[in-house]
Chain A
Amino acid sequence: MEDEVFDVIVVGGGVAGCVTAYQLARAGRSVALLERGAVPGSKNLSGGVFYWRVLQEVFPDFLESAPIERRITRNCLSLLNESSCVTVDYWDARLAEPVNAVSVLRARLDAWLAEQCEEAGVAVLSGVRVDGLLRHGDSVVGVRADDEELAARVVILADGVNSFLARDAGIRAMEPTKHLAVGIKSVLGIPAQRLEERFGLAEGEGTAYAVVGDCTQGVAGGGFLYTNSDSISVGVVLRLDDLAASGRSASDIHDHFLSHPVISRLVAGGTLLEYGSHLTIEAGPQVASQDLTRPGLMLVGDAAGFTLNTGFTIRGMDLAAASGIAAARAADAALTDGDYSQQSIDRYRAELAATFVGRDLKTYAKAPAFFENQSIYREAGLLAADIMHGIYDLDTSPRAHLRDVVRRAVSGSDLGWRQLAGLVLGGMRSL
């Protein structure tokens, strides 16, 4: 193998890496996909909602063939307080036709993606940790793994949020902690029929909860709960700067969320199948605005910083897939020209800018700053509950119009009118 030069080496068998490798193999290129896990998917962990439609052009029969868990037709956004909870519960048949989002478990999904790669002719090499990049002058010309050198015309880094390779290559520095968050997730087994009864779901359909407030005990971040086929993925995401400053223990916050009365009823009787954690990027637009290329090298997926938290939707896998499609197109063009210079590789940037990845990262550029507003994690939920309490608590006092109920709740809140207006307007503009 030492003398072989691959057209492309992709490092990392997640969504971004697999899609990149698959597209290039389908274009007739020789591709090696290197994965450090014993099998693809074994190192990968997501909350679990995949806005999958970008994959339609790559795998037209994805919904029928891929190991998806449930089709998400019900989205719940909860403001959680210690002893109250206000939820916007949105179910829509239109979310099933066409299917918009699916819950997934990465160990299954990524293994399937890697299988598609293999069938398309990709050399999938698992259990291989890449330790460094090979360079010739300014250009990246391969990788080093276990003292073995593998040469390639183009190297694509899909090695995830911690991308040590991008760091070692001087493309990325350590991210500041406020750009990062740790996700801690438990997968709890519950029989399919019981799940469907508990969440009011049709067969095969699923619910996704995004929760903010007491779930993280005031730490910036949130909670999530997704239904799988016969399990629930549930956990918290905690921004690292705030977690560090809080003095709290990460696992305690996870346990606090799962034991909250609202959540504990939803997961009751579940048996723990897996306890995992993974870093995620909280400031996708900022992280992704850094360098993405070098001569002979491109960054895709989490390694590039392609994640978005809009409060309602938490996205990474769809951006990973789209970046893989764009990178494959750019690499294919570079290979056709035999030109791996910075200018040639930078076609990737142009490809990205033309897709929703580039556009959405721009649209949500101010979202991370909005989520630095601490009142989101406490006062907003308390105010919402106070308004609802004012409406539903018929304590025999004469009723007031909604306007006055709201007025009373706001003046009793730690959030003043001015702050509330700022929060609402800020949210409208940045989310």
Chain B
Amino acid sequence: MNDLGSIAERLAANAYAVDEGHAHIEVNQEVVQRTGSGPLLVRVCPAHVYSQGEGGRIEVAWAGCLECGTCLAVAPDGALTWHYPRGGFGISFRSG
């Protein structure tokens, strides 16, 4: 197969305008822990935005988000605060 590289390498080839200091995704760690939904978030995101850190804490690399909304659709109520980045920021598809 074509070597597409790691997901991180693939995202690096995409165009983003990162809105430094304005995360558009926030994780409610308590809800995620209680519902055990961490691993679900980690594996459904095509961009690997979520990863499980120490003590099961979910880390969010929101700058690489493709803004599809899959995580929000599968997450338990209250687990995520998720909105689109501010106007003009975020992923900028060149093919789409």
Using CB atoms and an 8 Å cutoff, list the residues of chain A in contact with chain B. 36-39, 41-46, 105-108, 110, 126-129, 145-146, 161-162, 164, 174-175, 177, 180, 182-184, 186-188, 231, 233, 240, 243-244, 247-251, 254-255, 258-259, 264, 267-279
Contact = CB atoms under 8 A, between A and B. Distances in A.
B84 A187 contact: no
Contact of B95 (A37, A255, A274): A274
Contacts of B61: none
Contacts of B87: 36, 126-129, 145-146
Contacts of B74: 177, 240, 243-244
Contacts of A250: 43-46, 70
Given A46-B96, A182-B68, A273-B94, A126 B73 contact: no
Contacts of B48: 251
A41 B96 contact: yes
Contact of A269 (B2, B11, B17, B90): B2
Contacts of A279: 68-70, 73
Contacts of A244: 40, 44, 74
Nearest to B4: A272
Contact of B70 (A128, A182, A258, A276): A182
Contacts of B95: 105-108, 187, 231, 233, 273-274, 276
Nearest to B11: A275
Contacts of B84: 36, 129, 162, 164
A233 B93 CA distance: 13
Contacts of B91: 42-43, 276
Contacts of A107: 93-96
B5 interface: yes
A183 B96 CA distance: 12
Determine chain B's interface SS by DSSP, over half rule. loop
The interface residues of chain A, by DSSP majority, are classed as: mixed
Nearest to B70: A182
Contacts of B43: 247-250
A45 B47 CA distance: 15
B96 A162 contact: no
A174 B40 CA distance: 18
Contacts of A164: 83-84
B34 interface: no
B53 interface: no
A307 B72 CA distance: 20
A243 to B, nearest CB: 6
A277 to B, nearest CB: 4
Contacts of B13: 272-275
A240 B93 contact: no
Interface of B: 1-2, 4-5, 7, 10-11, 13-14, 17, 40, 42-48, 66-70, 72-74, 83-96
A274 to B, nearest CB: 4
Contact of B94 (A127, A129, A274): A274
Contacts of A46: 96
B4 A258 contact: yes
A184 B46 contact: yes
26 contacts: A36-B84, A42-B96, A43-B90, A146-B86, A146-B87, A161-B69, A174-B73, A177-B73, A188-B2, A231-B95, A233-B95, A240-B44, A240-B70, A240-B74, A244-B74, A250-B45, A251-B47, A258-B4, A270-B2, A272-B4, A274-B95, A275-B11, A276-B95, A277-B46, A277-B66, A279-B70
Nearest to A248: B43
Given A129-B86, A251-B46, A259 B1 contact: yes
Nearest to A246: B43
Given A105-B95, A106-B96, A277 B70 contact: yes
Contacts of B45: 250
A259 B17 CA distance: 31
Contacts of B92: 37-39, 42-43
Contacts of A177: 73-74
Contacts of B89: 38
Given A129-B84, A182-B68, A271-B2, 8 more contacts: A42-B96, A105-B96, A240-B73, A250-B46, A264-B2, A275-B4, A275-B46, A277-B68
Contacts of A145: 87
B47 to A, nearest CB: 7
B35 to A, nearest CB: 13
A276 B14 contact: yes
A248 B39 CA distance: 10
A186 B67 contact: no
B34 to A, nearest CB: 18
Nearest to A274: B95
Contacts of A127: 87-88
A247 B42 CA distance: 11
Contacts of B1: 255, 258-259, 264, 267
